[in-house]
Each structure stands twice: as structure tokens, then as C-alpha cells.
Amino acid sequence: MSRPGTARPAGGALPAGLAFRPAGASDWPLIWLFWRQVVAAGDTYCYDPAMGYQAGRQLWFGSPPDQVWLVTDGQDPATALGSYRLGPNKAGPGSHIGTASYMVSEAARGRGVGRAMVLHSLEQAGVAGYRGLQFNAVAASNVHAVRLYLDLGFTVIGTVPGGFRHPELGLVDLLIMFHEL
């Protein structure tokens, strides 16, 4: 049985200097610092790039049983390096499949934060009893993310042709990805 707060051994050890903890609404000011930059860029997430502070918090924290995690610098717990959310992808007869979203601080790129979050979320999804983890909208142009997800065992189960309006590239495909649990 795996323990919450640790990366699953199969995925490799947690990179040195990273720590996970559950996040609450009071952590939103920390998350918002990088979250808004990722969303405003409009090149990875299907969120309104102009979304404000309150709406963003509502979206990110959702409602039970959604959970939000924060990645901090192990040496400096007040420094947020990334955050992810995990919850049911659908309600009712679809609630046994989870979905997750990940945000990495620009300043923390290259430290393995994204990979650590995906591994952590797969573990947490298993703990929460989800039978699979589904990404509904991965921009095909987000090649780093796509490569990471494939590397961690996700497969592309569907493609929405031209489903993402990239600010520079125009219409690119949206990938739907899935990982059985």
C-alpha cells in the first residue's frame, strides 16, 4: 500500500529538494503567482486567459471530492513550485474516472516538478479509488507535456481535430489521454 505524499517507486524517487503537501484555499495567493501566468499565456490550458483571482480559485479548488496539492521547495516551504488538482472527470456513472491538471511555476522549470506531480497524482488517484486518469484537452503543441504523459504510461485515446486555438500556431489538435489505474 502506497503512502500519500510520496511518489510511487515505479516512477522513480521524488527529485531532491521537492516536497508535496495538500493545499487549501488559503494557499491560493501562492499558487496564483504562477497559475495566472500559465493561464494568461493561453498556449496550454482551455481556461479563459483573462480569468480573475476569485474565478481561478473556484476553478482550481472545485468542490469535494476534488483535491489540490502544492509542490514546495523542500528547503523553503513558502516557495510554491507547482500545484495540481485531482477530481472526478464526470459525475454520476462517470465518477470512477479521475482527471487532473498541473501548473508549474516558470521559475521552477527543469527541476522535474511536472513529472513529480503527474506521478504523485497517479498515486493519489489510486488512493482515492479512481479506475483511470483522463486528460480531456492536451494541446498537441504542448510537446513537453505530451511526451511526459506518454513516458509515464498515458496513451492517446482520442483527438479533437483543431480543438485548440493556439495564440501563435492557430488551430492545433487537442489530445485526450488516459492512464488505467
Considering the complex, state which of residue 30 and residue 59 has its C-beta at the smaller distance from its own copies. 59
Contact segment (CB under 8 A) with its own copies among 3-11, 15-23, 100-108, 161-169 equals: 161-169
How many residues lie near its own copies (CB under 8 A)? 39
Helix (H, G, I), strand (E, B) or coil at 38: helix
- Angstrom distance (rounded) from CA 174 to CA 23: 29
- Angstrom distance (rounded) from CA 103 to CA 38: 7
73-112 mask for its own copies (x: CB under 8 A)?
-----------------xxxxxxxx---------------
Contacts of 127 (CB under 8 A, 6+ apart): 2, 4
Closest Cα partner for 102 from 139, 141, 70, 74?
70
Instruction: Provide, rounded to whole angstroms, the least separation between the CB of residue 24 and its own copies.
Output: 24
Binding site for its own copies (CB under 8 A): 39, 42-43, 45-49, 51, 90-97, 131-132, 134, 136-137, 139, 157-167, 171, 174, 176, 178, 180
